[in-house]
A and B are shown apart, each in its own frame.
Chain A
């Protein structure tokens, strides 16, 4: 009974209360029980491999994967592939993001920009961009260009949509208030509209980075002579499932790492949102 009373009081609206909520940084201990099933699956995998239930030409044991990982890392094979793939994502992302932000701002700010830019983008958006690979190979050959173009395309759409709507949904009340304070159009853009679009833009950034890795994996797997995708397809030729898994794990780690970076950026740029 006393429990429910306290929780009711905790949630009572406190508009008259002048003290802001206490800023405690809660760092909850991880719930170790959540590790039970992943570890059990890993053990099951290892046991299946050891008993021959899971043949190595279908899937290598976790232990073999770990050993191969250390091996390809030591020979420099992994490092080289990693660098090539990271470079492709970086260049593709820069190209795609530049285009997306420029178009998003233009469409968000001007009526004509909206009318001219938004319809074709919305139409192209419905195309499954990974399906464009055959065309890209015809247009760009099988070098770096089609992979970079694929990444750029994957990045551009989610980022454009979010930049555009971030600007479109800027707060009219704030714009009016700064107009009354004598702010010019350019000043309102800089102090109100663009900062207001940042949260939505960061959402788009996270989405687009996720798509960037996906686009890269597909692009590299279809044809490549270097990079992580090449490492994987090459290993497949020799039934080296251990190396295939190593490649996949590195892809996953890279995806997680970029996501972590964006979260870090969010926490920094959106400090004002924290309570």
Chain B
């Protein structure tokens, strides 16, 4: 079966700086992949390439089907009511309120359908951003540190929501994050990116919902790949 994402020999340069170097990656339909890496490792660049926001690349990056992105900032149009921000995801001049309400129902925002985005809290705005991404029924959902700007409690709720929505809709997911625990809780496969190369891949077979305690061994390895050793933690 063909993967939702097929990347072969992807190289991306900004001037004489190489951000992604000869990268190979494929993501199966319905697979949840987390991409870990320190700042500047190239993970956001990879996501932008897959989102179609950056097409000046060498090599091959093919995405089969519809792509949706949820960014770190919710990026809502403040002059459109909440439900109209959802149908933005359907493209063109869609006015399908019924679809919007269904998507809002899934992220538990249906009561805010007729509010202005500015009245939403940070977590609510991020849920709206997710609804806008999911209403497209994407084959590939790209998440660019979508919980990075949220407080710790809201973040836990959001992680559960994302897992729940993924299990219901089964898109392929690429989650870019620098939160190791988040990656271990959510992903089928964890990739570590460093200086534009994938330096390690960890498959996680644990049943869901996951408990952190079940994969402390992988956690240690991933942290080591990221340059954080037990000594440094002690």
The answer to whether A272 touches B78, judged by C-beta atoms less than 8 angstroms apart, is yes
In the assembled complex, the CB of B47 is this many whole angstroms from the nearest CB of chain A, namely 10
Chain B CB within 10 Å, residue with most, of A17, A18, A180: A180
User: Which residue of A is nearest B111, CB measured?
Assistant: A18
Q: Do A195 and B79 form a contact, CB below 8 Å, given A14-B121, A15-B122, A271-B116?
A: yes
Q: How far is the CA of A236 from the CA of B136 in the complex (A)?
A: 71
Interface residues of A in 196-217 (CB under 8 A from B): 196, 198
Q: Residue-by-residue, is A171-197 near B (CB-CB < 8 Å gives 1, otherwise 0)?
A: 001101111111100010001100110
The answer to whether A176 touches B123, judged by C-beta atoms less than 8 angstroms apart, is no
In the assembled complex, the CB of A190 is this many whole angstroms from the nearest CB of chain B, namely 10
In the assembled complex, the CB of A10 is this many whole angstroms from the nearest CB of chain B, namely 17
User: Which residue of A is nearest B71, CB measured?
Assistant: A177
Q: How far is the CA of A181 from the CA of B53 in the complex (A)?
A: 10
A275 contacts partner chain B, Cβ-Cβ < 8 Å: yes
Q: How far is the CA of A62 from the CA of B120 in the complex (A)?
A: 53
Q: Do A272 and B91 form a contact, CB below 8 Å, given A16-B123, A173-B73?
A: no
The answer to whether B75 touches A173, judged by C-beta atoms less than 8 angstroms apart, is yes
Q: Residue-by-residue, is B46-80 near A (CB-CB < 8 Å gives 1, otherwise 0)?
A: 00000111000000000000011101010101111
The answer to whether B77 touches A183, judged by C-beta atoms less than 8 angstroms apart, is no
Q: Do A180 and B67 form a contact, CB below 8 Å, given A15-B154, A16-B151, A272-B116?
A: yes
The answer to whether B71 touches A18, judged by C-beta atoms less than 8 angstroms apart, is no
Q: How far is the CA of A225 from the CA of B29 in the complex (A)?
A: 80
The answer to whether A20 touches B115, judged by C-beta atoms less than 8 angstroms apart, is yes
User: Which residue of B is nearest A198, CB measured?
Assistant: B79
The answer to whether B53 touches A18, judged by C-beta atoms less than 8 angstroms apart, is no
List the A side residues contacting B117 at CB < 8 Å: 272
Q: Residue-by-residue, is A13-41 near B (CB-CB < 8 Å gives 1, otherwise 0)?
A: 01111101100000000000000000000
Q: How far is the CA of A14 from the CA of B124 in the complex (A)?
A: 12
The answer to whether A174 touches B79, judged by C-beta atoms less than 8 angstroms apart, is no
List the A side residues contacting B71 at CB < 8 Å: 173, 177
Q: How far is the CA of A219 from the CA of B124 in the complex (A)?
A: 55
B42 contacts partner chain A, Cβ-Cβ < 8 Å: no
Interface residues of A in 134-190 (CB under 8 A from B): 173-174, 176-183, 187
Q: Residue-by-residue, is B107-128 near A (CB-CB < 8 Å gives 1, otherwise 0)?
A: 0000010011111111110000
The answer to whether A177 touches B69, judged by C-beta atoms less than 8 angstroms apart, is yes
Q: How far is the CA of A181 from the CA of B119 in the complex (A)?
A: 24
The answer to whether A181 touches B75, judged by C-beta atoms less than 8 angstroms apart, is no
The answer to whether B119 touches A18, judged by C-beta atoms less than 8 angstroms apart, is no
A268 contacts partner chain B, Cβ-Cβ < 8 Å: no
Q: How far is the CA of A191 from the CA of B69 in the complex (A)?
A: 18
List the B side residues contacting A183 at CB < 8 Å: 91
List the B side residues contacting A180 at CB < 8 Å: 51-53, 67-69
Q: How far is the CA of A187 from the CA of B92 in the complex (A)?
A: 8
A111 contacts partner chain B, Cβ-Cβ < 8 Å: no
Chain B CB within 10 Å, residue with most, of A14, A18, A275: A18
User: Which residue of A is nearest B50, CB measured?
Assistant: A180
Q: How far is the CA of A196 from the CA of B67 in the complex (A)?
A: 26
Q: How far is the CA of A14 from the CA of B122 in the complex (A)?
A: 9
B88 contacts partner chain A, Cβ-Cβ < 8 Å: yes
Q: Do A20 and B120 form a contact, CB below 8 Å, given A178-B88, A183-B91?
A: yes
The answer to whether A21 touches B119, judged by C-beta atoms less than 8 angstroms apart, is yes
Partner of A16, one of B53, B68, B92, B153: B153
Q: How far is the CA of A273 from the CA of B80 in the complex (A)?
A: 11
Chain A CB within 10 Å, residue with most, of B78, B124, B150: B78
Q: How far is the CA of A178 from the CA of B53 in the complex (A)?
A: 10
List the B side residues contacting A191 at CB < 8 Å: 77, 88
Q: Do A179 and B116 form a contact, CB below 8 Å, given A173-B75, A195-B79?
A: no
B196 contacts partner chain A, Cβ-Cβ < 8 Å: no
Q: How far is the CA of A162 from the CA of B96 in the complex (A)?
A: 35
The answer to whether A18 touches B116, judged by C-beta atoms less than 8 angstroms apart, is no
B89 contacts partner chain A, Cβ-Cβ < 8 Å: yes
In the assembled complex, the CB of B80 is this many whole angstroms from the nearest CB of chain A, namely 8
Besides A173-B73, A272-B118, 14 other CB < 8 A contacts? A14-B121, A15-B122, A17-B121, A20-B121, A173-B71, A177-B71, A180-B53, A180-B67, A180-B68, A180-B69, A187-B92, A195-B77, A272-B79, A272-B80
A–B complex contacts, Cβ < 8 Å, 24 sampled: A15-B121, A15-B122, A16-B151, A20-B119, A173-B71, A173-B75, A176-B75, A177-B69, A177-B75, A180-B67, A180-B68, A180-B69, A181-B89, A181-B136, A182-B91, A191-B88, A195-B79, A272-B79, A272-B80, A272-B118, A273-B78, A274-B116, A275-B118, A275-B119
